[in-house]
Structure 1
Amino acid sequence: MPLLGFGVYQNYTTRESVLEALRAGYRHIDSAQAYRNEAHVGAAVNESGIPREEIFVTTKCINKTHGYESTLSGVDASLEKFGFEYIDLFLIHDPMSGRERRLQTYKALQDARAAGKIRTVGVSNYGTKHLEEIKDAGYELPSVNQIELHPFCQQKPIVEYCTAHSIIIQAYCPILRGNMDHPTIKELAQKHQRDPAQVLLRWSLQKGFVPLPKSATPERIRSNTLLYDFALDDEDMARLDALDKGKKGSISWNPVDWD
């Protein structure tokens, strides 16, 4: 899985944006059934001329579709919309369907993986209790947990659990949906002669996360990839770490505490 992903939530020019992202060097695209753009992602991947096996594609099933049979049907529907023979990573989008349906959904994804329809099973917006629920049910833990992560919402207990159990952490909202006017972020951007988004994405990478920035602007799509010729020093990282407000710093739905 490439360390930098391209998100397509609320992207109304998905096909064009994904093609631009692929031209810019992205090889990881993050979609979802609820985004209603799987077909556009698939069209871009298939039109790009890049071999399918070189592009890592994620999708997710939202709570209203949870359940064993409905999840299996959803996998087939996603494959048809993408126009793919397999999906690289399939996530449970959220934990909001209750324990029984969550576990049914997880089992269905494992069975879809065994059938060769998906390569990897993961979750999104899962707190530690939801991860423990999977382990207590006798299933192997997911490979990925995608959660809201940025300096203002660091979700440290979940990150610590995932790190201890070798669960890869994907970070959504890594560039604060463009609201990057905090003085610390601006000062670090000026210090490194970078834009604020690049500073935030570099923080995420140095934390060991897989950030998923999204943009429909070609210049921004390209600039968000220019992260590997500079680094934040220990003091920079500490200043950003100090911005954490816990869940109060959330800017998205972040249902990690759902029963």
Structure 2
Amino acid sequence: MITLLDRHLTALPEAPALTGMRRFAVELLYFGVKEARACLFAGLFFLAVFLCPRAGLFGIPRYDLLLLFALAVQALMLWTKLETWDEFKAIGLFHAVGFALEAFKVSGSIQSWSYPDPAFSKVLGVPLFSGFMYAAVGSYIIQAWRLLDIRVLHHPPYWMAGLVALLIYANFFTHHYIGDYRWYLAACVLGLYSRTTVVFRPYDRDRRMPLLLGFVLTGFFIWLAENISTFFGIWRYPDQLGAWSVVHLGKWSSWALLVVMTFTIVANLKHIKARIHIPD
């Protein structure tokens, strides 16, 4: 069913007769459908987060159930060809990057947040399902890139974008020791991507949006998802241990920078793959 939907969404017919408000409504509808489809893995994963009882099921702890569910969804997407092996390998990279960050953040000397529930699949205090939260962001970008036929105009030099992404990732670790430089890095991102435009196709015509706006909006929606996740007790920040409170708005900037880093990984992987397939 979803495979048929993908074929439909990526082979939409030209519709020159569509004009005015009717065109606006159709394009908005298809944009929403494509975005929802791109969020398939993330949507199913967070649905499981909300529905899974905190006490677990059948003696299996909640965190372990979430890991089993994420693995099952990932396997299903591969089996149905909703995700290619190249995309799967890229998502595996996001999982590894996310797990390394989680292990550092929950360590005894840092304790930026914690996972309070028990689990068999905890490694270094981190339940293995947590890496899929980062993989979900990567999955969304990869799927949206294909479904919306995304092209990037005026992309900055790839080595420069990669360096800034690496510094963003490093700052998540080093700010505990040498200060938080996120706003300096944000300024670098503003300068680097100031001319960069995303071209995407909701229906049969190309539309454009500043890439920086995409970073900010995606970061905001992740921040909303984080509020919901902490409300359900999947993880907790130190100020939420007594009673739940809204995640600090400053986390929005952290998520936006993480989106920059994730986008850069996807863009660089696609660039490398394109160069490999270009004949000499």
Structure with the bigger percentage of helix: 2
TM-score, length-scaled by structure 2: 0.26
TM-score by length of 1: 0.28
